């Protein structure tokens, strides 16, 4: 059994968000165009103002087509397979990894997995930033794989 969840996956595409993105893009282009048409000098404020609207347009258009802006900076995922448990709850968080070969027992705490390894030390995998439904799916996947590998699980 393998469980994988992309935490940055856009839930649905949005036509409204696409329209808002296109409007931001139009304002950005129109701002500079008006300055050129009126033969007025384009100052730093105009470039900054236009760039902010252009970036805002980019964020909305990418989000509207199902590609979250955060993905430009990193990944966030949950991957549980026969070899490892890997959880990265946000793009700037450190990935938490545990190898099944090193796990002796598993204990489910309130918002964490407490894994005891072969050296009698504990590995704590935090689940506090994850939604409740994801935590439940993680627990199910860990239970199933732990039972396949003969690892005791405490609730």
Q: Is the pTM of this model over 0.75?
A: no
Domain boundary assignment for the chain: 9-72, 77-154
Q: Dump pLDDT digits (tens) for 58-107.
A: 989 988 887 777 777 888 888 988 888 888 888 888 888 888 888 888 88
The structure tokens 């105009």 sit at 46
- Classify domain 77-154 by CATH number: 2.30.29.30
Radius of gyration of the chain (CA): 23
Q: Which of 106, 89, 108, 110 is nearest to 98 (CA)?
A: 106
Instruction: Give the DSSP letter of residue 73.
Output: T
* 67 within 8 A of 14, measured Cβ to Cβ: no
pLDDT band for 138, please (50, 70, 90 cuts): confident
pLDDT at 42 over 70: yes
SS3 for 151? coil
Handedness of CA 107, 108, 109, 115 (dihedral sign): positive
pLDDT at 148 over 80: yes
């Amino acid at each position: 059994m393998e469980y994988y969840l992309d935490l940055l996956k856009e839930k649905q595409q949005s036509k409204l968000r696409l329209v808002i993105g296109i409007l931001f893009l139009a304002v950005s282009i129109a701002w500079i165009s008006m300055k050129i048409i009126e033969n007025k000098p384009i100052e730093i404020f105009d470039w900054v103002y236009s760039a902010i609207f252009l970036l805002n347009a980019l964020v909305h258009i990418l989000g509207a087509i199902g590609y979250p802006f955060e993905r430009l900076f990193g990944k966030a995922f949950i991957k549980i397979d026969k070899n490892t448990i890997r959880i990265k709850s946000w793009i700037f968080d450190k990935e938490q990894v545990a190898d099944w070969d090193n796990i002796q027992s598993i204990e489910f705490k309130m918002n964490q997995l407490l894994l005891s390894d072969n050296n009698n030390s504990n590995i704590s995998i935090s689940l506090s930033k994850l939604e409740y439904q994801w935590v439940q799916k993680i627990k199910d996947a860990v239970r199933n794989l732990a039972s396949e590998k003969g690892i005791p699980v405490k609730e």
